[in-house]
Structure 1
C-alpha cells in the first residue's frame, strides 16, 4: 500500500503568530464566533484534510491582554462542526489533569457516535500554575505525577469506550492523540498514543523522535504501524518568495513585544525583566530540559535553538514569532511542498499538524495552493476513501491496554486543595 501524507489544520484562534489578530483585513474577534471554526472546517473538508484540531487550556491566559486566545470549549465547537460537515475528522484537546475520566469518556464517546466515527482526543497533562489555581490547587502537580496520571486516565477512558454496548462509534472508539516531547511524554506516547503531535525544528532529530516512539510502542506490545507522527508546521505562503518574506516581516513587526516576552519567559520559567533585545539569554539561567517544570516539550525546543544559534533576545523572539517553538516555513506553495515532501520521504513525519500564520487567510492560501501541489506529486489524497478518522489515518482498532478497567471517580487529595 502506498504511504500517503496526513494533514490536519490547527484552528488556533486568529493564527499561530502572536500578531495574527493585527494582520490587515483580519477580524481580531472572529475566534469568539462559532462561524470562524465552522467555515475553516468546511474549507478543510473541501481540501480533503484528515482533521481539524483544536487546542485548549482550562484557564484564562493572562496574555489575553496582548492577543486573542482559545475561547470556546473544544467539544462544544466540534459538535457544531460535526453537524455542518460529513467527513473531516474532529480532534479536540482535553486535559487529563483537570477532567473526570467518567465524564470525559461519555462526552467524547457520545460525540464520536453522533459524528459517525470522526473524533480524536488530544491528551494533554496541562502545565502552568494558572490552570492549577483555577481548580483550587496550590500549584501544578509535579511533572512525572502528571504523566503517571495521564497514562492511567487514558487507559481508563479507552477501557470505558471499549466496554460500550450502546451508542458505539463506527470507528470503534475515538483516536487517541498525544502531544509531549519530554521523557515522560515520549513514554506516554509509546504507551497510549495513536497520533503524536510533536514539536521539532530539526529534520534528523524529528526522524530519531519518530523512530523512538515507534520502537517504544513495541515494548507495550504495539506495532509501529499503529503510530502516526504529525509535527506542528507553521506556514507563511506567498505567490513569490519575496511576497512570502514580506508577509513574515509584517507579522514580526506587529507582534506585541509584551506578549512575546511573557510567553517566552513562561516557557523557560525565568524572568526576562531587565534583559534588552540586544543581549543573549544568559546560559546560566537555563536548566536541563528534564529538570524544567511546565511544558518540557517547548522548553526543550527553545533551549536547543538558544544552544545552537546563541541568538540575542530580540532575534529569538522574532524567530519564534510568539508561536512557541513550532517550525516555521516561509515561501511559495512549491517551496513549502518541497519542505513537506522532504520530511515525509525521509521518515521524519507521517504528515503535519498545519498551523497557518493567520486565520482564515493563511489557511485559504495553504488549501488553495499548497494542497494541490502536494496532490500533483502524488503525496495527498484527491478524495476521501472512508468516513471515519481512523479510516483517514489508516489506523485499525488497537487492543485495549492489558490491565485497563473502566474509570472510577478520583477524589482530589486534600494536599492539592487550597484551604479556606
Structure 2
C-alpha cells in the first residue's frame, strides 16, 4: 500500500521578515536579526510546531540594502550549527553558492554541520547573480547565466561524490540520513534542468496554480530524463503570510506593512528584478510591458524576472501597484487573511498537486511566524493535513525522502568555467 502524501512546511528566517519594512513593525526589535537569539527562537518555535525545517537565505557579498533594512548577519553553516545545538528534530536548510565556493571545502563544511546535527542538514544549491558578489571576489562582472548553471551541476556532482567517499575525494563523516538533502531554487530553463538532475526539494516563486502545475511537469520530465523518480522531488513554493484573527485585522496589518516599506529600497529591489534603473520613474505610470526583454535575455535572477513579468502581463499594474503586490520587493506570493483562509489556500494548492508544501516567509519576524505557528498550523492539523508529532529524526525522515546511494562515477576535478 502506498504511503499517504504529507504536507511539508519550512520557515524562511529571512532576518527581520519578508516585507521590505518588516523590521519597523512596532512589536519587534528592529535589531533582533543581529542576534543569535532571534534565529534560535524562531527555530524553537518551528520545532514546537513540528515544521520540517528552517531555511536560511544567503549570498556571498555585501549589499547596499543595509541602508534601508537589516541584512543576513551570520554565515549559514555557523548559524545552523548553533541552531542544531539548541534543537533536536527540526531540519536545517542553508543556502551556499555553487558559483563562489570550492566544491571539496564546501562538501567537508556541510558534512560537518550534518554530523553535529545528527543528520538534519539540507543544502540549498544556488547560482549567485549580481555584480556585488562578483566584486567581492575581485571580478568585474557576474558570470553568464548558462556558465553559472554549468558550474552548479559540476560542483553539486563533486560535493555528492565527496559525501559518498569516492576515490580521489576527501573523507567526510558518515550521516544518519545518507547525505544532506539537496535543495534548489530556480525556474529558468537552466535551473529546471539542474533541479531535475539533482534536487530533492525545490523552492519556487510560483504565483498561480497554473504556473505551479506547469513547473512540476517540467521538473518531472527532467527528473525522468536523468533516471530519477519524480515522487522523490518535493516542490515547495515560497508563501508570504499576513495573519489576522479577522479579515479586517489582516487587511489592516497588510496596510501597515505597505506603509513601512522604504520607497528607495523597494525601487532598488524592483530595478534589480527588471534590469534597469527605476529611481526616476513616475510611480503611477503603467509598467511598459513592450520594453521588457524576454526572460532568456534577462540578466540576474531569471526566476524572479519571470515572476515579476508574469504579474505585469496579468495585471498591467502601475509601478506603485507592482511594488505593493511584491510587498516592497518580497517577490513571493502573498496571502492575507484569517488562519482559516490561509489554511484554505495551503490546502487548495496541496490537494491539487500544485505544491507538496510551502517555504513559509512570514511578514515580520518573530511576531508574524508566531501568528502562523500558533494559529495556522493547528488549523492544518485539525484538517489532518499536517503532522502533530515527528515520526523520525532526520530531515529526510521529515520529507519522506529515501537514503541516497553513492554515485558510481568519480566526478572530475573542477576548473573555473569563466
TM-score scaled to structure 1, two decimals?
0.96
Residue aligning to 1:390? 396
Residue aligning to 1:408? 413
Residue aligning to 2:369? 363
Q: Whole-Å Cα distance in 2 between the matches of residues 348 and 47 of structure 1? A: 23
Tell me the secondary structure at the aligned position of residue 7 of structure 1: strand
Q: Whole-Å Cα distance in 1 between the matches of residues 345 and 133 of structure 2? A: 36
Aligned residues: 412
Match of 2:285 among 279, 289, 307: 279
Residue aligning to 2:267? 261
Match of 1:236 among 234, 242, 251: 242
Q: Whole-Å Cα distance in 2 between the matches of residues 168 and 331 of structure 1? A: 45
How far is the alpha carbon of 1:226 from its aligned partner?
A: 1.1
Residue aligning to 2:41? 39
Residue 114 of structure 2 is aligned to residue 120 of structure 1: no
Residue aligning to 1:10? 12
Tell me the secondary structure at the aligned position of residue 69 of structure 2: coil
Q: Whole-Å Cα distance in 1 between the matches of residues 227 and 128 of structure 2? A: 28
Residue aligning to 2:183? 177
Structure 2: tracts of 5 or more residues without a match: none
- Contact in 1 for aligned 2:178/2:405 (Cα 8 Å): no
Q: Whole-Å Cα distance in 1 between the matches of residues 172 and 251 of structure 2? A: 53
Residue aligning to 1:297? 303
How far is the alpha carbon of 1:69 from its aligned partner?
A: 1.2
Q: Whole-Å Cα distance in 2 between the matches of residues 402 and 233 of structure 1? A: 38
- Contact in 2 for aligned 1:298/1:324 (Cα 8 Å): no
Residue aligning to 1:50? 52
Residue aligning to 1:136? 138
- Contact in 2 for aligned 1:105/1:161 (Cα 8 Å): yes
Q: Whole-Å Cα distance in 2 between the matches of residues 191 and 78 of structure 1? A: 26
- Contact in 2 for aligned 1:9/1:51 (Cα 8 Å): yes
The within-5 A match list for 1:8-407 is: 8-163=10-165, 167-401=173-407, 403-405=409-411
How far is the alpha carbon of 1:389 from its aligned partner?
A: 0.2
Q: Whole-Å Cα distance in 2 between the matches of residues 373 and 210 of structure 1? A: 27
Q: Whole-Å Cα distance in 2 between the matches of residues 73 and 144 of structure 1? A: 27
- Contact in 1 for aligned 2:268/2:279 (Cα 8 Å): no
Q: Whole-Å Cα distance in 1 between the matches of residues 405 and 300 of structure 2? A: 32
Q: Whole-Å Cα distance in 2 between the matches of residues 297 and 237 of structure 1? A: 27
Offset from partner CA, 1:339-361 (integer Å, 9 cap, x none): 00000000000000000000000
Q: Whole-Å Cα distance in 2 between the matches of residues 37 and 211 of structure 1? A: 35
Tell me the secondary structure at the aligned position of residue 401 of structure 2: coil
How far is the alpha carbon of 1:401 from its aligned partner?
A: 5.0
Tell me the secondary structure at the aligned position of residue 297 of structure 1: helix
CA separation of 1:305/1:404 partners in 2, compared to 1, >3 Å: closer, same or farther? farther
Q: Whole-Å Cα distance in 2 between the matches of residues 383 and 283 of structure 1? A: 48
Q: Whole-Å Cα distance in 1 between the matches of residues 333 and 136 of structure 2? A: 31
Q: Whole-Å Cα distance in 2 between the matches of residues 314 and 322 of structure 1? A: 10
TM-score scaled to structure 2, two decimals?
0.96
